[in-house]
Amino acid sequence: MKSLVLMLAMLPALVFGYSNPDAKTLMNEYQEFRSMVSNMEHDYLVGGWYKAKDFGDTTVMWLLSDDLTDREVIRFFRKKDDGSVFTVTYHRSDYIVDGRIVLRRFVGPEPTGWINHTIDFETGEHLGSQGWWPFFDESDHDFMKKWGFHY
């Protein structure tokens, strides 16, 4: 009985305590990747819109803007051996939360099984998360570590 009570008492910490990367970490990730793609030559355009570069099993796509209120996207797209797709996508925009410029990061297999984290781009305030941490297989963990994503 003591074990059950202890387990139930620990549940909030296990579920919420380490599941959300903090806002500073997300901002640092985004700024590092933004710097990387802004200095990179693209291989081709996707849909005439996104610049793209292939890195083996991963395609990095981006659309950058110097105007803070314009949409900006950086997307890591990986097609897995089984044909499924796993992505990490950063969106900077002023249309997700009215009156605020936010940065949102989606992580997970598409079209289901994702989690996102949203921060205020200007203040760094963590605005919340939606979804749940998807199941990661070994290749997903390797992908996240290789590119330096915090999860």
In a domain, 11, yes or no: no
| 50 has pLDDT over 60 | yes
For residue 124, how many other CB atoms are within 10 A of its CB? 13
Is the CB of residue 79 less than 8 Å from the CB of residue 85? yes
Structural domain that includes position 39: 21-147
What total number of domains does the chain contain? 1
**In a domain? residue 58:** yes
- Is 45 within a domain? yes
Rounded to whole angstroms, how far apart are CA atoms 121 and 33? 15
**pLDDT score of 31 more than 50:** yes
Give the confidence band of 111 by pLDDT, cuts at 50, 70, 90.
low
User: Does residue 85 lie within any of the structural domains?
Assistant: yes
- Residue 9: inside a domain, yes or no? no
27 in Cβ contact with 124 (< 8 Å): yes
Cβ–Cβ < 8 Å for 101, 124: no
Q: Is the pLDDT of residue 65 over 80?
A: yes
Q: What is the pLDDT of residue 51?
A: 97
pLDDT tier for residue 21 given thresholds of 50, 70 and 90:
low
Whether 143 is in a domain gets the answer yes
The answer, yes or no, to whether residue 130 has pLDDT greater than 90, is: no
